[in-house]
Amino acid sequence: MPSSDYIPSADPSFYEWVKFLLAYILQNFSKWNIPSPETTLVPLVTAFEAAYTTCQNPNKGKVDTQKKNEARKNLEKELRVYNKAYLLYNPVVSDGDRTAMGLPIYKESRSPIQKPETAPQLLPNIATRRVIKVYYKDEKSARRGKPAHVKGIEVKWAKLKEAPKDIADLVNSAFDTSPPLVLEFQEHERGEKVFMCGRWEIQREGEKGPWGDIVEVIIS
């Protein structure tokens, strides 16, 4: 891992940094008007913490180390996506906040990119049992994937009995940069309705485009 990387390389340092970072985000995400990390970072932090704790046992095995490494890999991947989307370039997050969280401070001198004017069209796939794979494309494009000038897609979703009256009713949030976005469910949730919609987010400033249409999907 490069020394210039803001993520600590040693597991003990990484573990302490992640715990503090998550606590800081949980305390401030509402003030910053960004998605809660409850459905994105929290499960991955919990998985890494369990695997890391297991590896503190002198009798740990090779499989335990492999599980810890895989849990860290998954957590780091999501951390980079979340941090880039909501913390590193968000003007509401102060440089003091970034310093406190152990994040780098980037000074942008390039011309700002115009925020997206089009919306994504969601293309959910339910071929896999208990899994919704959300593919997407721009409403003005015939090809799947995100437009070149955007960083990724924010998807709001919720399980509801009836179609929501407002996007605010879609209480879960996920961010994706490379389709498909994968949502996994339990056996008892099969047959339930999931409603979702998305909007594009540009590369640096975190500007977001308009919401697309709300789509209904039934968990297979």
pLDDT tens per residue, range 175-192: 998 889 999 999 999 999
pLDDT of residue 34: 93
The letter for the amino acid at 173 is S
Beta-carbon contacts of residue 218 (< 8 Å; ≥ 6 apart)? 126, 191, 192, 193, 194
Whether residue 110 is predicted with pLDDT greater than 60 in this model: the reply is: no
Of the pLDDT bands very low, low, confident and very high (cuts 50, 70, 90), residue 149 is: confident
The pLDDT score that the predictor gives to residue 67 is: 96
pLDDT at 136 over 90: yes
Burial class (CB in 10 A: 0-12, 13-18, 19+), 109: exposed
pLDDT at 204 over 60: no
Continuous segment of H or E residues that includes residue 42: helix 41-54
Q: Please, what sign has the CA dihedral across residues 86, 90, 94, 99?
A: positive
Instruction: Tell me the mean pLDDT in the region 191-216.
Output: 88
Tell me, what's the pLDDT at 109? 43
pLDDT at 3 over 80: no
pTM check: above 0.85: no
Percent of the chain with pLDDT over 70: 93
Average pLDDT, the chain: 90
Which of 102, 93, 77 minimizes the C-alpha distance to 21? 102
